[in-house]
Amino acid sequence: MAVARRRRRPAEDEDEAPRRPRRAREEPEEEPKSEGLSVKTYSGLSEKRMAAKSGGNNSKIFMMPDKPVTVQFLTPPNGFLEYDCHCFKESGAWKFVPCAGEECPLDQDEDREVSKTTYTFAALAWDCTRKQVGIIEGRNGLAMRIMKKYKPYPDKSLKRTWEITKLDILPKGQFDVEMSEEPYTTVPKDKWIDLEDWVQKEMQRYYGDDMPGASTDTKRRTSLDDDDDEPAEDDESYSRTELKAMTPRALKKVAIDLDIDVADMSTRSMITAILEEQEQ
């Protein structure tokens, strides 16, 4: 019977052949991370950021529908700046471009929505929320509301604060202006903004290097309390759906405003047709 022989273990002093180490698993090399510029993002929508960044102009005091803004006017209405403004949509975004006067390229545009202008004013005010000097820019409706509040108390109006609310109702362009309980602030003149310079820069933002040579045709006058001054058309147009949602009284008010300026024939035609439908 054969006996299996045990394999002799090498003596401790004998050299043992070293084991070949297992080859490490090769991991794919990671591509170096780019160290270039990255976009700075914010999580969620913020009305404060919208107001601060809209249009790239941090001086303007923006008003959201039904969100009161508290301000203190730094000059009476005869210190406001008035000018004509082109308000139109371009590439899906609204543009508000101060008119450059007689040589304005937009006046010559074939599109009526671009060439027409709207009465606009700019007023210097203290923004009670942001605690800084800002610009209130508005159209005819807001100008008339401010003037209505100013006339009874011309000597006291500048030592009061005011709460301005853009109303989220039809017809568009309506505002409410009421006295506020916010305390009055003394603002040194070296913090004021030059309105003429501000309007010029507003125009330059649109044209860039193609800025027309003529300056904006602004007028320092007191036409807000001049009954002979021609009221301007509302700065917002209306769709047929919006017009049909209005009451007959609101429709007639819009029609009267348009008839004064005789500017928007299509809107007036729609109003006439809708009023006729409502009477039937």
Q: What is the pLDDT of residues 211-247, one digit of tens each?
A: 766 455 555 444 444 444 443 444 445 566 666 666 6
Confidence of residue 116 (pLDDT cuts 50, 70, 90): very high
In tens, the pLDDT along 135-185 reads 999 998 999 999 999 999 888 899 999 999 999 887 888 899 999 999 999
User: Euclidean distance between the first and final Cα of the chain, in Å?
Assistant: 125
CA distance 72 to 187: 10
In tens, the pLDDT along 28-84 reads 566 555 555 555 566 666 665 555 554 445 789 999 999 999 999 999 999 999 999
Helix (H) or strand (E) holding 49: helix 47-53
Do residues 61 and 127 lie in contact, with contact meaning Cβ atoms separated by under 8 Å?
A: yes
- Highest CATH level, class, for 48-230: alpha beta
- Residue 156: exposed, middle, or buried by beta-carbon count in 10 A (0-12, 13-18, 19+)? exposed
Confidence of residue 101 (pLDDT cuts 50, 70, 90): confident
**Domain assignments of the chain as residue spans, ordered by start:** 48-230, 237-280
CA distance 136 to 69: 10
CA distance 240 to 74: 40
| Cα-based distances in Å from 273 to 113, 170, 255, 277 | 22, 18, 12, 6
The predicted pLDDT at position 48 comes to 59
The predicted pLDDT at position 264 comes to 47
Do residues 185 and 74 lie in contact, with contact meaning Cβ atoms separated by under 8 Å?
A: no
